[in-house]
């Protein structure tokens, strides 16, 4: 079969002369969602076959920082004295105006502690320590970090804040350590793994039931029968320019300035296969984006302004929420204004746009419209002196007048600063992993999880570090269990 074959065109059962491989549950993609799906499906007694496009498993999960967004009173949260409940976590997940998935958020919050324990039972290590300082990824092996907007407005109005970013115990990036334990559990489960075997299309019967997968291996087409179900877990589509053009033109048009955060197989094949079989693809225009402008945390005392010299966000938000807002600013121009008391160099790739002895000179050097930055800073400073930010509600802990010369502007503009993005849209699923049509009916035999599905990760404005790997592992398990429990079609 040609590698150009359209994955959105399913094959008919009649067109399959014979099956080359067969299993109860066939899993497409061996990353976090696929591995957890395989572990649970084999535990439920199913014979499992995993098809993986790359030479080995892991996908983005193994490349990741190893953050999982978990809470409700996990062991590390309790150990460091953090109070958290499933209800607070649920309320937090439901905050924002981007249409959170109520059913998924509910079950994710309610079963988050159990999911943590499940990972621990697999051998995934977590320390009982917290990294309190505002950071993108704790550099040591401390487990907990404030990885979202919990302490920032408006989220702090709806739920008691708690640190819920749980990093696997390893210094720096820890996704590889997570993968060591997930893959060991899959190998011990007896699931069969076929690497270098990309899935190309689904096979459906005349009633629309998904009955198998067409894959290719060493240039040969394989027909793979899935007696009970197919789980699509082959990741997102940040590497697919055509899909970006169709679904996220704002990223596509600015790709030269945005790093595509993913692996080469993030081509959206699973999403297209599922959509071709009738599943709705939803939130396809949503993405995660970041420009990691902190640490140092002291920069949070600064203000972010656009090409009009105006603020547009409370700067104490998570870097992804800030980047989402920055990405939308006119001309893509954004500056972080700091005074001598709070300036520091971000860890990665930022340049100084200007440094001057007065705000007026800085405004001129940045070519901002006359008096705009001066006015913004004057209003900000007046309120900051009283511990207030009536415009954006930055927390008083991060408010102090910026009045100590010299003044500096770090360039956070598109094309100048390191913007990084991946996709969040995917197939519409129930918390069980069953895929749904536009009309809301389940497609028999078809399940999806991880970045193949639209989950608790919703938009740049509400994303938190750890939500993707958390979602992939949590809902991957559920999809595997559901597929294993489906009645076989033969």
Ligand X SMILES: Cc1cc2nc3c(=O)[nH]c(=O)nc-3n(C[C@H](O)[C@H](O)[C@H](O)COP(=O)(O)OP(=O)(O)OC[C@H]3O[C@@H](n4cnc5c(N)ncnc54)[C@H](O)[C@@H]3O)c2cc1C
Number of Cβ within a 10 Å radius of residue 305: 26
Helix (H, G, I), strand (E, B) or coil at 217: strand
**Shortest distance, CB of residue 268 to ligand X, whole angstroms?**
8
- Pick the closer one to ligand X by CB: 414 or 472: 472
* Spatial separation of the C-alpha atoms in residues 88 and 464, rounded to whole Å: 15
**Shortest distance, CB of residue 308 to ligand X, whole angstroms?**
33
**Shortest distance, CB of residue 193 to ligand X, whole angstroms?**
11
Q: Give the Å distances, CA to CA, from 389 to 313, 318, 339, 347.
A: 11, 18, 18, 28
- Pick the closer one to ligand X by CB: 57 or 302: 57
**Shortest distance, CB of residue 272 to ligand X, whole angstroms?**
9
Q: Which residue is nearest to ligand X (CB)?
A: 31
| Binding residues vs ligand X (CB under 6 A) | 28-34, 51-54, 57-61, 63-67, 198-199, 233-235, 261-263, 265, 269, 422, 450-452, 465-470, 472
- Pick the closer one to ligand X by CB: 305 or 469: 469
- Pick the closer one to ligand X by CB: 53 or 399: 53
* DSSP string for residues in 39-64: HHHHHTT--EEEE-SSSSS-HHHHHS
Q: Which long-range contacts (CB under 8 A, 24 or more apart) does 356-362 make?
A: 356/406, 356/407, 357/405, 357/406, 357/407, 358/405, 358/407, 359/407, 362/337, 362/407, 362/408, 362/409
Give every strand in the sheet of 351-356, ordered side by side.
303-306, 334-338, 407-411, 351-356
- Pick the closer one to ligand X by CB: 198 or 444: 198
**Shortest distance, CB of residue 301 to ligand X, whole angstroms?**
26
- Pick the closer one to ligand X by CB: 60 or 366: 60
- Pick the closer one to ligand X by CB: 145 or 317: 145
* Spatial separation of the C-alpha atoms in residues 252 and 258, rounded to whole Å: 9
User: Which H or E run includes 118?
Assistant: helix 112-121
H-assigned helices in 172-312: 175-189, 241-247, 249-252, 269-276
**Shortest distance, CB of residue 378 to ligand X, whole angstroms?**
40
Side-chain-side CA neighbours of residue 330 (13 Å):
8
**Shortest distance, CB of residue 104 to ligand X, whole angstroms?**
15
**Shortest distance, CB of residue 346 to ligand X, whole angstroms?**
18
- Pick the closer one to ligand X by CB: 248 or 353: 248
Report the chain's C-alpha Rg in angstroms: 24
H-assigned helices in 248-327: 249-252, 269-276, 319-327
**Contact status, residue 56 vs residue 195, Cβ threshold 8 Å:** yes
């Amino acid at each position: 079969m040609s590698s150009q074959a359209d994955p959105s065109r399913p094959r008919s059962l009649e067109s399959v002369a014979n099956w080359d491989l067969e299993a109860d549950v066939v899993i497409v993609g061996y990353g976090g969602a696929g591995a957890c799906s395989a572990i649970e499906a084999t535990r439920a007694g199913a014979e499992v076959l995993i098809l993986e496009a790359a030479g080995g498993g892991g996908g983005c999960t193994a490349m990741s920082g190893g953050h999982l967004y978990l809470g409700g009173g996990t062991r590390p949260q309790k150990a460091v004295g953090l109070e958290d409940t499933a209800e607070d976590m649920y309320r937090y997940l439901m905050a924002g105006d981007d249409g959170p998935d109520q059913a998924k958020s509910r079950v994710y919050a309610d079963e988050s502690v159990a999911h943590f324990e499940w990972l621990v039972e697999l051998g995934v290590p977590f320390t009982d320590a917290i990294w309190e300082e505002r950071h993108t990824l704790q550099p040591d092996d401390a487990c907990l970090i404030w990885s979202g907007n919990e302490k920032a407005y408006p989220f702090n109005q709806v739920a008691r804040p708690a640190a819920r970013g749980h990093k696997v115990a390893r210094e720096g990036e820890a996704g590889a350590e997570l993968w060591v334990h997930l893959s060991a559990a899959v190998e011990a489960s007896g699931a069969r793994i076929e690497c270098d075997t990309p899935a190309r299309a689904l096979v459906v019967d005349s009633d629309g039931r998904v009955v198998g997968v067409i894959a290719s291996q060493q240039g040969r087409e394989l027909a793979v029968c899935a007696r009970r179900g197919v789980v699509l877990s082959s990741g997102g589509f940040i590497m697919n320019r055509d899909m970006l053009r169709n679904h996220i033109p704002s990223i596509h048009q600015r790709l030269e300035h945005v790093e595509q955060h993913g692996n080469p197989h993030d081509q959206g094949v699973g999403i297209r296969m599922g959509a071709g079989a009738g599943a709705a693809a939803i939130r396809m225009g949503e993405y995660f984006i970041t420009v990691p402008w902190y640490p140092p945390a002291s920069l949070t005392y600064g203000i972010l302004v656009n090409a009009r010299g105006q603020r547009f966000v409370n700067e104490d938000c998570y870097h992804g929420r800030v980047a989402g807002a920055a990405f939308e600013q006119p001309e893509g121009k954004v500056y972080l204004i700091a005074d001598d008391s709070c300036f520091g160099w971000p860890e990665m790739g930022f340049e100084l746009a200007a440094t001057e002895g007065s705000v007026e000179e800085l405004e001129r050097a940045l070519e901002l419209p006359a008096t705009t930055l001066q006015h913004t800073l004057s209003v900000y400073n007046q309120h900051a002196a009283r511990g207030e930010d009536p415009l954006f509600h930055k927390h008083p802990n991060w408010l102090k007048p910026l009045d100590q010369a010299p003044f500096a502007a770090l360039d956070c503009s598109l094309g100048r600063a390191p913007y990084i993005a991946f996709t969040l849209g995917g197939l519409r699923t129930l918390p069980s992993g069953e895929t749904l049509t536009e009309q809301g009916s389940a497609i028999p035999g078809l399940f999806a999880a991880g970045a193949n599905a639209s989950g608790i990760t919703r938009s740049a404005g509400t994303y938190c570090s750890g939500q993707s790997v958390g979602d992939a592992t949590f809902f991957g398990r559920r999809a595997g269990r559901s597929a294993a429990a489906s009645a076989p079609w033969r």
